[in-house]
Amino acid sequence: MDLLIDFLPDLLTGLGVTIVLGVVSFILGSAVGALVTLARISSSRTLRTLAAAYVSVFRGTPLLIQIMIVYFGLPQLGLEIPPIPSAIIAFTLFSAAYLSENFRAGVLGVDRGQWEAAASMAMPYWKTLRRIIFPQAIRIATPAVGSRFVALMKDTSLASAVTVVELTRVAEGIGTSTFRYMEALLLVGLLYWLVNTLLQIGQQALERRMRRAYA
Amino acid sequence: MIVSVRGLRKRFGDLEVLKGVDLDVGRGEVVVVMGPSGSGKTTLIRCLNLLEEPEAGTVSVCGTELACGVRHPAGQVRELRRRTAMVFQQFNLFPHLTALQNVMEGPVSVRRVPRAQAAARGRELLARVGLADKCDCYPAKLSGGQKQRVAIARALAMEPEVILFDEPTSALDPELHAEVLQVMRELAREGMTMVVVTHETAFAREVADRVVFMDGGTVIEEGPPSRFFTTPDHPRVRAFLRLVAS
């Protein structure tokens, strides 16, 4: 308890950075993921192959390696990116790969008859996606996307490896200066849990509202 | 001719579903397509608006002619679809939209009708199919018969030259057939051109101008219901009619 009081400013800053990392990466990741999904369902074989390769690479390699490549590797190519942007880039690309799969499952989960009904009224492809398919795909994908968000929140702890002072790094700092690692780690663990519990409550409310909107 | 089809061929893998089908539908005509399952009747009607792409033959709707088996611009397919509307066996209503929004969707986003005008017209059409009080209901709250009537209103909203009905009552409980058939009967009386794939012999007898019987991917018999149901030429048709009558 005294740790919480003594290190409150540090903890709050760390919490803030963790939330920013998670939220910003999730939003950007969703945008990139949506583009990847469009490529994966497009009629162009090249686009489909490229998108599938992207997903395969970013899902098939450790996130920590991806973060370190951006932060430690890219400077070798003359591209120096500060810690927080580095982490956000890596988290964005990583979660985009997973989110694109969730979105794709959502799109494929929409009944084929919906495409046909839209086609039979001469609706163009993009309009069909926007007005008919996406609104339904989002509902199908929401549970999986929510889980992704929670997973991403926890994954942000890896940013500590590239010197970003987020929650995990703050805990390490407290541990180093007080040698009370156990309390410090349990404390930030609790903070992660609180954030994710709030996220899950929000997600459940969202899902309830979406279900209502159908009836 | 509203619809004119020549030499239509379609295969799914090794299975040749349409083996050169010709079909003409005149303005205001109601053509009922019957036949055993697997005879190709659903594939035929789905070829009329290119939901299935035939391998060979021509499809022409109101003068927009499409040669099949070659690449054609998407605009041409849309032009053809703009003149047709389809009512599906499984309704295919948009579940995230209310009944009224379902009916408005095509006019607003395809025909660029102003929203208020589309809404007024939508209410009118829903009233016409007996669902004036269901405008704000989502499909999940409607019975199968009501869903299919919304689907018919949605088809009408596109102001099509011809409506294609693909087994419109087959997914419905028997007691709900009547309300849908009643709406279709009225449409026919008002002069709507219709192509109807159905097993409803009573409907065909009463409403059809012509019955087309398909078997094994070809049309084997065709004629006015008075003759079709009493003195068909083909033994396959006689056998089929005995089966559905019993």
Checking if the pLDDT of B32 tops 90, the result is yes
Averaged pLDDT, A1-22: 89
**Is residue B244 scored above 90 in pLDDT?**
no
Q: How many other CB atoms sit within 10 Å of the CB of residue A169?
A: 21
- Three-state SS at A93: helix
Query: For B104, which residue in chain A has the nearest alpha carbon?
Result: A121
- Beta carbons of A214 and B95 less than 8 Å apart: yes
- Taking the CA atoms of chain A, what radius of gyration do you get in angstroms? 20
Nearest-Å Rg of the Cα atoms of chain B is 18
| pLDDT for the residue numbered B76 | 86
Looking at chain A, which residue has its C-alpha nearest residue B163?
A120
Contact A113 B85 (CB under 8 A): no
Say which DSSP state A72 is in.
I
Q: Are B98 and B142 in contact (CB under 8 A)?
A: no
Asked if residues A158 and A67 have their Cβ atoms less than 8 Å apart, the reply is: yes
Q: What pTM does this model have?
A: 0.88
The string of pLDDT tens digits covering residues A45-88 is 999 999 999 999 999 999 999 999 999 999 999 999 999 999 99
The pLDDT value recorded for residue A7 is 86
Q: For chain A, what is the HEC assignment?
A: CHHHHHCHHHHHHHHHHHHHHHHHHHHHHHHHHHHHHHHHCCCCHHHHHHHHHHHHHHHHCCHHHHHHHHHHHHHHHCCCCCHHHHHHHHHHHHHHHHHHHHHHHHHHHCCHHHHHHHHHCCCCHHHHHHHHHHHHHHHHHHHHHHHHHHHHHHHHHHHHHHCCCCHHHHHHHHHHHHCCHHHHHHHHHHHHHHHHHHHHHHHHHHHHHHHHHCC
- With cut-offs at 50, 70 and 90, classify the pLDDT of residue A125: very high
Greatest Cα pair distance, chain B, in angstroms, is: 55
Model confidence band, residue A2 (pLDDT cutoffs 50, 70, 90): confident
Q: Give the confidence band of B246 by pLDDT, cuts at 50, 70, 90.
A: low
What local confidence, expressed as pLDDT, does residue B66 receive? 87
Per-residue confidence (pLDDT) for residue A213, from 0 to 100: 65
- pLDDT tens for residues B63-99? 888 888 888 777 889 999 999 999 999 999 999 999 9
Instruction: Please tell me the predicted confidence (pLDDT) of residue A215.
Output: 61
DSSP state of A75: G
Q: Are residues B84 and A117, on separate chains, in Cβ contact within 8 Å?
A: no
Answer yes or no: do B138 and A215 touch at CB < 8 A: yes
